[in-house]
Structure 1
Protein backbone atom coordinates (compact mmCIF):
# COMPACT_ATOMS: atom_id res chain seq x y z
CA UNK A 1 0.00 0.00 0.00
CA UNK A 2 1.14 3.46 -0.63
CA UNK A 3 0.56 5.94 2.17
CA UNK A 4 1.20 9.46 1.04
CA UNK A 5 1.81 12.59 2.97
CA UNK A 6 2.07 16.07 1.60
CA UNK A 7 5.87 15.88 1.55
CA UNK A 8 7.04 12.39 0.65
CA UNK A 9 5.43 9.08 -0.18
CA UNK A 10 6.26 6.18 2.13
CA UNK A 11 5.64 2.60 1.20
CA UNK A 12 4.19 0.45 4.00
CA UNK A 13 3.65 -3.26 3.54
CA UNK A 14 0.15 -4.26 4.48
CA UNK A 15 -0.64 -6.86 7.12
CA UNK A 16 -2.07 -9.01 4.34
CA UNK A 17 1.26 -8.94 2.46
CA UNK A 18 3.17 -9.87 5.59
CA UNK A 19 0.77 -12.72 6.30
CA UNK A 20 1.13 -13.95 2.73
CA UNK A 21 4.93 -13.91 2.97
CA UNK A 22 4.78 -15.72 6.31
CA UNK A 23 2.44 -18.33 4.82
CA UNK A 24 4.80 -18.82 1.87
CA UNK A 25 7.78 -19.11 4.24
CA UNK A 26 6.01 -21.71 6.40
CA UNK A 27 4.87 -23.65 3.33
CA UNK A 28 8.45 -23.56 2.06
CA UNK A 29 9.73 -25.02 5.33
CA UNK A 30 7.07 -27.74 5.18
CA UNK A 31 7.92 -28.64 1.58
CA UNK A 32 11.64 -28.57 2.39
CA UNK A 33 11.05 -30.96 5.29
CA UNK A 34 9.21 -33.32 2.97
CA UNK A 35 11.80 -33.06 0.17
CA UNK A 36 14.94 -33.19 2.34
CA UNK A 37 15.28 -37.02 2.41
CA UNK A 38 15.25 -36.99 -1.39
CA UNK A 39 17.91 -34.25 -1.41
CA UNK A 40 20.15 -36.47 0.76
CA UNK A 41 19.61 -39.30 -1.74
CA UNK A 42 20.58 -37.01 -4.61
CA UNK A 43 23.68 -35.87 -2.71
CA UNK A 44 24.58 -39.52 -2.09
CA UNK A 45 24.31 -40.19 -5.82
CA UNK A 46 26.36 -37.08 -6.58
CA UNK A 47 29.00 -38.23 -4.09
CA UNK A 48 29.36 -41.46 -6.06
CA UNK A 49 30.38 -39.48 -9.16
CA UNK A 50 33.96 -39.66 -10.44
CA UNK A 51 36.33 -37.37 -8.61
CA UNK A 52 39.26 -35.16 -9.55
CA UNK A 53 42.15 -36.71 -7.62
CA UNK A 54 44.09 -33.45 -7.23
CA UNK A 55 41.12 -31.58 -5.70
CA UNK A 56 40.20 -34.47 -3.46
CA UNK A 57 43.79 -34.72 -2.20
CA UNK A 58 43.94 -30.96 -1.63
CA UNK A 59 40.74 -30.97 0.45
CA UNK A 60 41.72 -34.11 2.39
CA UNK A 61 44.87 -32.30 3.55
CA UNK A 62 42.76 -29.54 5.15
CA UNK A 63 39.57 -31.24 6.36
CA UNK A 64 38.42 -28.53 8.77
CA UNK A 65 38.83 -25.87 6.07
CA UNK A 66 36.96 -28.14 3.63
CA UNK A 67 34.04 -28.58 6.00
CA UNK A 68 33.86 -24.91 6.98
CA UNK A 69 33.93 -23.80 3.34
CA UNK A 70 30.98 -26.11 2.68
CA UNK A 71 29.05 -23.96 5.14
CA UNK A 72 30.09 -20.89 3.14
CA UNK A 73 28.86 -22.40 -0.12
CA UNK A 74 25.72 -23.65 1.61
CA UNK A 75 24.91 -20.20 3.01
CA UNK A 76 25.80 -18.22 -0.11
CA UNK A 77 23.35 -20.00 -2.40
CA UNK A 78 20.13 -19.37 -0.43
CA UNK A 79 21.22 -15.81 0.37
CA UNK A 80 21.78 -15.19 -3.33
CA UNK A 81 18.37 -16.74 -4.13
CA UNK A 82 16.66 -14.42 -1.66
CA UNK A 83 18.66 -11.41 -2.90
CA UNK A 84 17.65 -12.30 -6.44
CA UNK A 85 13.97 -11.79 -5.55
CA UNK A 86 14.62 -8.07 -4.95
CA UNK A 87 16.27 -7.44 -8.31
CA UNK A 88 14.91 -6.27 -11.63
CA UNK A 89 14.29 -9.02 -14.21
CA UNK A 90 17.59 -8.27 -16.03
CA UNK A 91 19.55 -8.66 -12.81
CA UNK A 92 17.54 -11.74 -11.83
CA UNK A 93 18.81 -13.52 -14.92
CA UNK A 94 22.40 -12.59 -14.11
CA UNK A 95 21.94 -13.57 -10.47
CA UNK A 96 20.23 -16.82 -11.51
CA UNK A 97 23.31 -17.66 -13.54
CA UNK A 98 25.45 -16.75 -10.52
CA UNK A 99 23.37 -19.12 -8.35
CA UNK A 100 23.93 -21.92 -10.88
CA UNK A 101 27.69 -21.29 -10.78
CA UNK A 102 27.63 -21.33 -6.97
CA UNK A 103 25.64 -24.59 -7.04
CA UNK A 104 28.22 -26.12 -9.37
CA UNK A 105 31.02 -25.04 -7.01
CA UNK A 106 29.14 -26.34 -3.95
CA UNK A 107 28.41 -29.71 -5.56
CA UNK A 108 31.98 -30.06 -6.79
CA UNK A 109 33.26 -29.12 -3.33
CA UNK A 110 30.85 -31.59 -1.65
CA UNK A 111 31.93 -34.43 -3.92
CA UNK A 112 35.62 -33.85 -3.21
CA UNK A 113 35.70 -32.88 0.47
CA UNK A 114 36.37 -35.57 3.08
CA UNK A 115 33.25 -37.14 4.54
CA UNK A 116 31.96 -35.35 7.63
CA UNK A 117 31.59 -38.80 9.17
CA UNK A 118 35.37 -39.04 9.31
CA UNK A 119 35.53 -36.10 11.73
CA UNK A 120 35.30 -38.44 14.74
CA UNK A 121 38.14 -40.57 13.36
CA UNK A 122 40.39 -37.61 12.53
CA UNK A 123 39.62 -35.71 15.74
CA UNK A 124 38.67 -38.24 18.46
CA UNK A 125 38.77 -35.59 21.23
CA UNK A 126 36.37 -33.27 19.39
CA UNK A 127 33.25 -35.41 19.57
CA UNK A 128 30.96 -32.49 20.40
CA UNK A 129 32.40 -30.30 17.63
CA UNK A 130 32.03 -33.10 15.08
CA UNK A 131 28.44 -33.71 16.16
CA UNK A 132 27.68 -29.98 15.92
CA UNK A 133 29.21 -29.85 12.44
CA UNK A 134 27.11 -32.78 11.18
CA UNK A 135 24.00 -31.14 12.69
CA UNK A 136 25.01 -27.88 10.99
CA UNK A 137 25.31 -29.61 7.61
CA UNK A 138 21.80 -31.07 7.98
CA UNK A 139 20.37 -27.75 9.14
CA UNK A 140 22.05 -25.70 6.42
CA UNK A 141 20.89 -28.14 3.75
CA UNK A 142 17.34 -27.91 5.08
CA UNK A 143 17.44 -24.10 5.14
CA UNK A 144 18.97 -23.96 1.67
CA UNK A 145 16.22 -26.24 0.38
CA UNK A 146 13.58 -24.06 2.08
CA UNK A 147 15.09 -20.91 0.55
CA UNK A 148 15.02 -22.52 -2.90
CA UNK A 149 11.38 -23.58 -2.45
CA UNK A 150 10.53 -20.08 -1.15
CA UNK A 151 12.13 -18.49 -4.21
CA UNK A 152 10.21 -20.85 -6.51
CA UNK A 153 6.91 -20.10 -4.71
CA UNK A 154 7.47 -16.33 -4.82
CA UNK A 155 8.44 -16.38 -8.49
CA UNK A 156 5.44 -18.62 -9.24
CA UNK A 157 2.99 -16.36 -7.39
CA UNK A 158 4.54 -13.28 -8.98
CA UNK A 159 4.15 -14.83 -12.42
CA UNK A 160 0.49 -15.64 -11.78
CA UNK A 161 -0.05 -12.08 -10.50
CA UNK A 162 1.62 -10.55 -13.57
CA UNK A 163 -0.40 -12.83 -15.84
CA UNK A 164 -3.63 -11.83 -14.10
CA UNK A 165 -2.65 -8.16 -14.37
CA UNK A 166 -1.94 -8.52 -18.09
CA UNK A 167 -5.34 -10.15 -18.64
CA UNK A 168 -7.16 -7.43 -16.69
CA UNK A 169 -5.26 -4.62 -18.48
CA UNK A 170 -6.30 -5.74 -21.96
CA UNK A 171 -8.64 -3.19 -23.54
CA UNK A 172 -12.14 -4.38 -24.33
CA UNK A 173 -12.80 -4.70 -28.03
CA UNK A 174 -15.63 -2.55 -29.36
CA UNK A 175 -18.33 -4.38 -31.26
Structure 2
Protein backbone atom coordinates (compact mmCIF):
# COMPACT_ATOMS: atom_id res chain seq x y z
CA UNK A 1 0.00 0.00 0.00
CA UNK A 2 2.92 2.33 0.04
CA UNK A 3 4.70 4.27 2.69
CA UNK A 4 2.60 5.86 5.39
CA UNK A 5 3.36 9.25 6.72
CA UNK A 6 4.80 8.85 10.19
CA UNK A 7 3.50 11.40 12.67
CA UNK A 8 6.01 12.28 15.38
CA UNK A 9 5.05 11.34 18.92
CA UNK A 10 3.40 14.25 20.66
CA UNK A 11 1.89 14.47 24.07
CA UNK A 12 -1.87 14.16 24.02
CA UNK A 13 -3.59 17.53 24.12
CA UNK A 14 -4.93 18.45 27.50
CA UNK A 15 -8.62 18.04 27.83
CA UNK A 16 -10.18 21.20 29.28
CA UNK A 17 -12.94 19.08 30.79
CA UNK A 18 -10.72 16.55 32.53
CA UNK A 19 -12.16 15.40 35.82
CA UNK A 20 -9.28 16.77 37.85
CA UNK A 21 -9.45 20.28 36.39
CA UNK A 22 -11.46 23.19 37.67
CA UNK A 23 -14.09 24.45 35.30
CA UNK A 24 -15.77 27.73 36.21
CA UNK A 25 -14.41 27.40 39.70
CA UNK A 26 -15.89 23.96 40.42
CA UNK A 27 -14.04 20.69 40.83
CA UNK A 28 -15.54 17.61 39.24
CA UNK A 29 -12.97 15.28 40.79
CA UNK A 30 -14.97 14.84 43.97
CA UNK A 31 -12.37 16.50 46.17
CA UNK A 32 -12.34 20.09 47.21
CA UNK A 33 -9.62 22.49 46.18
CA UNK A 34 -7.60 24.09 48.92
CA UNK A 35 -9.40 27.10 50.35
CA UNK A 36 -8.17 30.46 49.12
CA UNK A 37 -5.95 32.50 51.38
CA UNK A 38 -8.04 35.12 53.19
CA UNK A 39 -7.57 38.69 52.03
CA UNK A 40 -8.80 41.99 53.36
CA UNK A 41 -10.86 43.99 50.89
CA UNK A 42 -10.22 47.69 51.35
CA UNK A 43 -13.33 49.81 51.73
CA UNK A 44 -13.87 53.56 51.55
CA UNK A 45 -12.51 55.45 54.55
CA UNK A 46 -15.79 55.60 56.49
CA UNK A 47 -16.81 51.94 56.32
CA UNK A 48 -14.82 48.94 57.62
CA UNK A 49 -12.72 46.69 55.42
CA UNK A 50 -14.10 43.20 54.80
CA UNK A 51 -12.12 40.02 55.46
CA UNK A 52 -12.80 37.20 53.00
CA UNK A 53 -11.78 34.59 55.59
CA UNK A 54 -14.46 35.81 57.98
CA UNK A 55 -17.03 35.64 55.17
CA UNK A 56 -15.98 32.12 54.14
CA UNK A 57 -16.23 30.86 57.71
CA UNK A 58 -19.36 32.61 58.95
CA UNK A 59 -21.43 32.08 55.81
CA UNK A 60 -20.17 28.57 54.96
CA UNK A 61 -19.07 29.38 51.44
CA UNK A 62 -18.09 26.21 49.51
CA UNK A 63 -14.37 25.99 48.74
CA UNK A 64 -15.24 25.11 45.14
CA UNK A 65 -16.14 28.74 44.45
CA UNK A 66 -13.22 30.61 42.95
CA UNK A 67 -11.62 33.26 45.20
CA UNK A 68 -11.97 35.92 42.49
CA UNK A 69 -15.72 35.34 42.31
CA UNK A 70 -15.99 35.63 46.09
CA UNK A 71 -13.95 38.84 46.13
CA UNK A 72 -15.98 40.27 43.25
CA UNK A 73 -19.30 39.58 44.96
CA UNK A 74 -18.06 41.03 48.26
CA UNK A 75 -16.86 44.20 46.51
CA UNK A 76 -20.21 44.51 44.72
CA UNK A 77 -22.04 44.05 48.03
CA UNK A 78 -19.81 46.67 49.67
CA UNK A 79 -20.65 49.11 46.86
CA UNK A 80 -24.41 48.49 47.14
CA UNK A 81 -24.38 48.74 50.94
CA UNK A 82 -22.27 51.91 50.89
CA UNK A 83 -24.68 53.43 48.37
CA UNK A 84 -27.70 52.48 50.50
CA UNK A 85 -26.13 54.24 53.50
CA UNK A 86 -24.89 57.29 51.56
CA UNK A 87 -27.33 59.82 53.08
CA UNK A 88 -26.93 58.40 56.59
CA UNK A 89 -23.14 58.49 56.19
CA UNK A 90 -23.24 62.17 55.14
CA UNK A 91 -25.22 62.98 58.29
CA UNK A 92 -22.70 61.13 60.47
CA UNK A 93 -19.76 62.86 58.82
CA UNK A 94 -21.43 66.25 59.29
CA UNK A 95 -21.59 65.41 63.01
CA UNK A 96 -17.83 64.82 63.02
CA UNK A 97 -17.69 61.03 62.78
CA UNK A 98 -14.94 59.98 60.37
CA UNK A 99 -15.61 56.23 60.51
CA UNK A 100 -18.53 53.91 61.21
CA UNK A 101 -16.69 52.67 64.29
CA UNK A 102 -16.66 56.28 65.63
CA UNK A 103 -20.46 56.59 65.56
CA UNK A 104 -21.80 56.12 69.11
CA UNK A 105 -23.21 52.61 69.50
CA UNK A 106 -23.18 49.68 71.87
CA UNK A 107 -20.09 47.50 71.70
CA UNK A 108 -20.34 43.73 71.53
CA UNK A 109 -17.20 41.62 71.70
CA UNK A 110 -14.96 44.68 71.29
CA UNK A 111 -16.74 45.69 68.08
CA UNK A 112 -19.37 48.35 67.49
CA UNK A 113 -22.80 46.90 66.82
CA UNK A 114 -22.97 49.21 63.79
CA UNK A 115 -19.80 47.65 62.39
CA UNK A 116 -21.26 44.18 62.98
CA UNK A 117 -24.48 45.16 61.24
CA UNK A 118 -22.56 46.65 58.32
CA UNK A 119 -20.56 43.44 57.89
CA UNK A 120 -23.78 41.43 58.08
CA UNK A 121 -25.39 43.58 55.38
CA UNK A 122 -22.40 43.17 53.06
CA UNK A 123 -21.93 39.46 53.68
CA UNK A 124 -25.62 38.59 53.37
CA UNK A 125 -25.83 40.52 50.10
CA UNK A 126 -22.74 38.71 48.78
CA UNK A 127 -24.08 35.32 49.93
CA UNK A 128 -27.38 35.98 48.11
CA UNK A 129 -25.48 36.78 44.91
CA UNK A 130 -23.33 33.66 45.25
CA UNK A 131 -26.45 31.54 45.75
CA UNK A 132 -27.99 33.04 42.63
CA UNK A 133 -24.79 32.55 40.65
CA UNK A 134 -24.27 28.93 41.70
CA UNK A 135 -27.83 27.63 41.86
CA UNK A 136 -27.53 25.75 38.56
CA UNK A 137 -24.38 23.90 39.55
CA UNK A 138 -24.97 20.69 41.45
CA UNK A 139 -22.15 20.71 44.00
CA UNK A 140 -23.20 17.49 45.73
CA UNK A 141 -25.55 15.46 43.58
CA UNK A 142 -26.81 13.22 46.37
CA UNK A 143 -26.46 15.39 49.47
CA UNK A 144 -27.52 18.76 48.06
CA UNK A 145 -30.50 20.16 49.89
CA UNK A 146 -32.46 22.25 47.37
CA UNK A 147 -33.82 24.47 50.13
CA UNK A 148 -30.31 25.68 50.97
CA UNK A 149 -29.68 27.00 47.47
CA UNK A 150 -33.21 27.93 46.47
CA UNK A 151 -34.72 31.29 45.71
CA UNK A 152 -36.29 31.46 49.17
CA UNK A 153 -32.85 31.32 50.80
CA UNK A 154 -31.44 33.90 48.39
CA UNK A 155 -34.36 36.18 49.23
CA UNK A 156 -33.82 35.57 52.95
CA UNK A 157 -30.20 36.71 52.74
CA UNK A 158 -31.30 39.84 50.87
CA UNK A 159 -33.89 40.44 53.58
CA UNK A 160 -31.20 40.08 56.27
CA UNK A 161 -29.00 42.59 54.43
CA UNK A 162 -31.84 45.10 54.05
CA UNK A 163 -32.77 44.73 57.72
CA UNK A 164 -29.18 45.40 58.83
CA UNK A 165 -29.04 48.53 56.65
CA UNK A 166 -32.32 49.79 58.08
CA UNK A 167 -31.14 49.26 61.66
CA UNK A 168 -27.88 51.13 60.97
CA UNK A 169 -29.82 54.02 59.41
CA UNK A 170 -32.24 54.11 62.35
CA UNK A 171 -35.25 53.21 60.21
CA UNK A 172 -38.12 50.89 61.07
CA UNK A 173 -37.37 47.24 60.44
CA UNK A 174 -40.47 46.97 58.27
CA UNK A 175 -40.99 49.19 55.26
CA UNK A 176 -44.17 49.87 53.32
CA UNK A 177 -44.28 50.52 49.59
CA UNK A 178 -47.04 51.03 47.06
CA UNK A 179 -47.45 48.20 44.62
Structure 2 length normalisation: TM-score? 0.26
More strand by share: 2
Q: Which of structures 1 and 2 has the larger relative contact order (alpha carbons within 8 angstroms, sep 6+)?
A: 1
Q: Higher helix fraction: Structure 1 or Structure 2? A: 1
TM-score, normalised by the number of residues in structure 1: 0.26
